[in-house]
């Protein structure tokens, strides 16, 4: 069965086509600059790459180009041949605790949840609606970033605000990066030789966006992102945890309005806010060149992760393994070393420096009470697998 995975943004669609039986990626690519004068289409099949520039007036037209190319290349007869299409949808609120087959009611609910993710949910729906119109028989599945965290207990998801902000306005912790945490957790359970519902893990997704999740008996019991993906760890341009009163203070002192503060916290803070760079590779280069601000940014970044590992170890009780994933988690031995430094005696987390530099799958010492894994995330595959489970 062939499953197409789509991640639709406002002016782009990322896609990947899987053959589920063969466990194979048949092709992947990107449709971008949708709605601009000149759009761009790029697709890779193994070694072969194809690109074209043309006006792509909307998502529907972009997907028709994709179908045309797949037919020309002999990969599909048409989209109706697909077993299903899995869509990434950012916010499922507290309504969706798992992936679902899309119907009119599901579309309406995702639209309703747009108030919680105004930049994401409406654009995630563009791909769903475009396909539903052209191929009404096609089975489409919505896979939510928030769904994996719907197992959080109330003690972890209720903020200490007036309770009616939860009951009336749905203000609570939702958590994000759920497909990534879920994927690496399942892989980690396999490595431990345990069933998922026996695995106790701390999964650490470090990329442009960063989040950390406490998993007890295979279920997410706490996670660092909150109502929105702004809370928690220090990120590329997002501040993560701050004293909320900073917002009132800056508003009063500088006369900044809500939109300006929103921009500051989401786009001008984090690593970039501290040292001017949000790309970890650049920061590491600058640290090697003895740049003090880059060093400070890196230290703050790692200290925040370390603090959460401590907190989540207590929340879980007995941790089997911690898992690094995401662009930084998978590739930066420096970050992994700085995060684990000093956790030997307190938590029994012992990093093997050589294995870490070689980027082995397991980078802890044999004597480490808690194992340390590096597991590449694969959100597209996770979406394809969840879609496959539902359509078959």
**What are the residues binding ligand AMP (CB under 6 A)?**
207-208, 236, 279-281, 284, 326-328, 331-332
Shortest Å distance, C-beta 280 to ligand AMP: 4
Tell the smallest beta-carbon distance from residue 278 to ligand AMP (Å).
6
Helix locations, the chain, DSSP H: 59-72, 104-112, 121-134, 154-157, 164-167, 178-192, 245-254, 258-267, 270-275, 280-288, 292-316, 326-331, 333-340, 343-347, 353-358, 379-391
Residue 359 DSSP SS3 = coil
Q: Which is nearer to ligand AMP, 301 or 388 (CB)?
A: 301
145 is catalytic: yes
- CA of residue 359 relative to chain centroid, distance: 22
Backbone dihedral angles phi then psi of residue 349, each to the nearest 5 degrees: -105, 110
Residue with tokens 């430094």: 341
**Residue with smaller CB distance to ligand AMP, 149 or 177:** 177
Specify the residue, 200 or 211, whose C-beta has the smaller distance to ligand AMP: 211
The DSSP line for 316-354 is HSS--EEEEEHHHHHH-HHHHHHHHTTHHHHH-B-B-HH
**In this structure, what is the dihedral angle of CA atoms 331, 333, 335, 338, given to the nearest 10 degrees?**
170
Residue placing its CB nearer to ligand AMP in the complex, 59 or 177: 177
Q: Find the shortest distance in angstroms from Cβ 9 to ligand AMP.
A: 14
- Nearest CB to ligand AMP, comparing residues 140 and 325: 325
From CA 323, how far away is CA 12, in angstroms rounded?
A: 31
Q: Minimum distance between the CB of residue 284 and ligand AMP, rounded to whole angstroms?
A: 6
Kindly tell me which of 29 and 236 has the beta carbon lying closer to ligand AMP.
Answer: 236
Which residue of the set 80, 145, 243, 279 is catalytic? 145
DSSP letter for 366, please.
T
Q: How far is the CB of 328 from ligand AMP (least distance, A)?
A: 4
CA distances to 131, 203, 204 from 321, in Å: 41, 8, 11
The 8 Å CB, 24+ separation contacts for 186-192 are 187/373, 187/375, 188/320, 188/321, 188/323, 188/373, 188/375, 189/218, 191/321, 191/361, 191/362, 191/371, 191/373, 191/375, 192/320, 192/321, 192/371
Residue nearest ligand AMP, CB atom distance: 327
Q: Give the contacts of 176 (CB within 8 A, at least 6 positions apart).
A: 90, 145, 146, 149, 209, 211, 223, 225, 229
CB of 339 to ligand AMP, least distance (A): 13
- Tell me the closest approach of the beta carbon of residue 326 to ligand AMP, in angstroms: 4
How many CA within 13 A on the CB side of residue 345? 1
Q: Which is nearer to ligand AMP, 333 or 364 (CB)?
A: 333
Residues 39/56, Cβ–Cβ less than 8 Å: yes
Instruction: Report the catalytic residues.
Output: 145
């Amino acid at each position: 069965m062939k499953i197409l995975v789509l991640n639709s943004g406002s002016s782009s669609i990322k896609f990947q086509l899987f053959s589920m039986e063969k466990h194979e990626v048949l092709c992947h690519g990107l449709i971008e600059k949708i709605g601009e004068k000149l759009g761009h289409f790029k697709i890779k099949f193994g070694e072969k790459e194809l690109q074209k520039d043309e006006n792509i007036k909307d998502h529907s037209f972009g997907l028709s180009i994709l179908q045309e190319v797949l037919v020309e290349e002999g990969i599909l007869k048409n989209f109706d041949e697909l077993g299903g299409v899995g869509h990434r949808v950012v916010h499922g609120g507290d309504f969706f605790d798992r992936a679902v087959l899309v119907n009119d009611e599901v579309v309406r609910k995702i639209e309703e949840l747009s108030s919680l993710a105004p930049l994401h949910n409406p654009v995630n729906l563009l791909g769903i609606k475009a396909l539903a119109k052209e191929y009404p028989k096609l089975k489409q599945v919505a896979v939510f970033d928030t769904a994996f965290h719907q197992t959080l207990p109330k003690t972890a998801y209720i903020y200490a605000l007036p309770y009616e902000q939860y009951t009336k306005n749905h203000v609570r912790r939702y958590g994000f990066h759920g497909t990534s945490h879920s994927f690496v957790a399942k892989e980690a359970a396999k490595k431990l030789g345990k069933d998922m519902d026996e695995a106790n893990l701390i999964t650490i997704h470090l990329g442009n966006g960063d989040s950390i999740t406490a998993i007890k008996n295979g279920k997410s019991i706490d996670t660092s992102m909150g109502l929105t993906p702004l809370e928690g760890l220090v990120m590329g341009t997002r501040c993560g945890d701050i004293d909320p009163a900073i917002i009132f203070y800056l508003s009063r002192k500088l006369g900044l309005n809500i939109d300006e503060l929103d921009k500051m916290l989401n786009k001008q803070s984090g690593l970039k806010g501290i040292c001017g760079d949000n790309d970890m590779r650049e920061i590491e280069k600058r640290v090697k060149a003895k740049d003090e601000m880059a060093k400070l940014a890196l230290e703050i970044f790692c200290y925040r992760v370390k603090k959460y590992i401590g907190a989540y170890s207590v929340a879980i009780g007995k941790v089997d393994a911690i898992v690094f994933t995401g662009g930084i988690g998978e590739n930066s031995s420096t970050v992994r070393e700085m995060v684990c430094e000093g956790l030997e005696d307190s938590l029994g987390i012992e990093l093997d420096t050589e294995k870490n530099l070689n980027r082995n799958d397991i980078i802890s010492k044999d004597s480490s009470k808690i194992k340390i894994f590096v597991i590449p995330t694969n959100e597209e595959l996770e979406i394809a697998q969840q879609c496959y489970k539902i359509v078959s």
